[in-house]
Homo-oligomer: A and B are copies of this chain.
């Protein structure tokens, strides 16, 4: 049923998932919804129907509702390409957003660009909106933001700008090894042993070159010595996060660091940093994504009036 108080819609559209939040005036949340229709499974003319499946019933007739999107929806393989902003830059605003052609007259869709760094080559799509959300509440922040995930980002922030960043494939490596490698036979449960994690972080930082030997030793320790899955799983995670910390030193050795993330993964990053004597703040992702999309919407509204 159409919702007459609907003011605008926030959309986080990643590779695997689509999530929407519907707001009334003054950013009062009316409803939220999600589906698995991520950008990865859609061709361009399937985006509008996938979006309407979730929000079509709410859209009032006879007027246009702004829909602000971030994430992989703006990639070259997405709905329409929203060209990257280049570092150093502030997180892109709604002014830089791209409006795909839509068939439904009730929709005004805007897709926020990602951010690129030319040298060394690096890209983000979605994280820049979390960064915008963090900066909307902390406009003078000068320090590092760490965004753990499939592709963990470390971003240097100064004077409202992303001055540089670096991506690590740590999360994707963990998931590939867990699901597809020979290690899957040894990592059969979801347990966790904190001491094994800590030791593996230390080992990886002091001898990072041993990674691929260490990976096989996880299999061999399980086979020969019956080391439990919980220990081996924590060791695998520690191996990979330790390797990342060894290379990300220039980011976390500064005075200020905040982790933007949820759940166990972010807690592991915080713990790995604490073992280096570093205390990092921790804040959730969804709240910041919504703050970033809200800032973009506010900005769009101000421009239009």
A123 vs B221: C-alpha distance when bound (angstroms): 9
Contact B208 A121 (CB under 8 A): no
A167 neighbours in B (Cβ, 8 Å): 213, 216-217, 220
A227-257 with Cβ < 8 A to chain B: 240, 243-244, 246-248
Contact B172 A224 (CB under 8 A): no
Contact B116 A224 (CB under 8 A): yes
A268 neighbours in B (Cβ, 8 Å): none
> How many residues does chain A have at the interface if contact means C-beta atoms less than 8 Å apart?
43
A212 neighbours in B (Cβ, 8 Å): 168-170, 173, 240, 243-244, 247
B-facing mask of A94-118, CB < 8 A → 1, else 0? 0000000000000000000000101
Q: Does A302 have its Cβ within 8 Å of any Cβ on chain B?
A: no
- For A123, give the chain B residue with the smallest CB separation: B220
Contact B220 A122 (CB under 8 A): yes
Number of copies of chain A assembled together: 2
B-facing mask of A207-220, CB < 8 A → 1, else 0? 11111110111011
Given A208-B211, A209-B246, A211-B211, does the pair A216, B168 have CB atoms closer than 8 Å?
yes
A63 neighbours in B (Cβ, 8 Å): none
Q: Does A225 have its Cβ within 8 Å of any Cβ on chain B?
A: yes
A248 neighbours in B (Cβ, 8 Å): 213
Q: Does A223 have its Cβ within 8 Å of any Cβ on chain B?
A: yes
A213 vs B208: C-alpha distance when bound (angstroms): 13
